[in-house]
Structure 1
Amino acid sequence: MSTPDSGAIRIGHAEREQAVETLREAAADGRLTLEELDGRIEGALAARTRDDLRPLLADLLPPTDVELVVNTAALQARQRAGEPGWAWQDPLVLTARWDDVVRAGPWEVPPFLELHPVASNVKLNFVDARLTSEIVDVVVHGGAGDAILIVPDGWGADVSRVEKGLGTIKSVVDTRPVGREPLLVVRGKGALGTIKVRHPNRFDDWQRQRRLDKGGGIYAKN
């Protein structure tokens, strides 16, 4: 599920300054006129929430980059803390060599993930996950195992950027999310295994109910 009212979250100087810098770069590239630049900078400096900034940048950047701008302060704080997954250059890396790697329950999802299903499977269940961004960038480096991504109804998943290997790429999830629901952008390259994006099945629902009966904690298997 998406973070409630994430667009209404207040921003600070870091987000405004990053937005202004982005607008100036766009004008230097000839993508904005000087009049447009002045109007948008005025709007950026007056912005109070993430939703105030998004329309100013939507026609200049891909959605993933827009989210980086409007989440600048939060991302910088987590980067300073040295936590992986909060910078494109330092993703949260999950590697399955001889045993499966699983994340389920109310686990916190950073915006940048890198999956290595070397000889076993990497399975991420986002149904009860705590989202920190409306776009999650997932890079898959395929191996002999499968990469399995389970998302709630309403989410979107774009797998068009994955280079197919000898395995398969399967997604039954709509490319575009519904409203402000999250979007998974899956990139990388497959190999022998399968990259699957799907909604929960009966077995997933049964596992989830068992977790809830036991207190609903995070299930993490490395």
Structure 2
Amino acid sequence: MSPHEERKVPGSPLEREQVVERLCDHYAADHLAMEEFERRITLVHRAATQDELRALLADLPSLQAGQGSASGASGTASSSRTGLEPAGSTPAPARARAGQVRDNQTELAIWSGRTRTGPWIPARTIRAVALMGGIELDFREALFPEGEIRLHVVAIMGGVDITVPPGVRVETGGIALLGGFDEALDPDQGGFEDDAPVLRITGAAFLGGVDITSRHPGESPREARRRRKRLGQERQKAREELEDRAAARRKLPGSGDR
């Protein structure tokens, strides 16, 4: 086989998976920005030959010891324990002290599971990547920092489940390619407190799913669905009552309705 013919060898599915895994390792080691990581993941699925796959890794630095495949990081992540108690049934989430909050945090699950639940302190910027695995980020008992948390998620043939408590302003913006980027949040009940925590979620789902739901601590998914349905019905009923009263006022003499 000539050198020219060798360069045209098609990339196998296994080789694609290996390149994706290496890109995840480099992303976890901060060798790639989020935008560049997502761009290269897209190019992996477009690559037709082995050379095109190799080119996606060629310009990256060597991984140091301990920066190898994160697929061994299975199980439940240890929670940050503090002397502060979560807010429990109080709508406003508990707060962490400024000195307790990290700037960056990475949650990576490759053919495995990763969980953050109970009392824990989220970093100001969180990157979560699930490759043929699952990540659960439960913020219901989390100790929130002041200001906003930026959470960027990528689900590739995997899933990321995000649960937030009432009292947190959630802003989302994501894309889905043969996947889902879905949210089931409480209906707006008149806005939030001025100092309410903000969770800004962005990212993408490639043949995977990102699900964002709001639930009270101890509340099951079924109970949350029923509560949201009830809140929606009450809100609709209140809107109809306001419209009926407005229509009645327009019919009063001197109302200007001719």
TM, length-normalised to structure 2: 0.43
- State which structure, 1 or 2, has the greater radius of gyration over its C-alpha atoms: 2
> Normalising to structure 1: TM-score of the pair?
0.50
**Greater RCO structure (CA 8 Å; 6+ sep):** 1
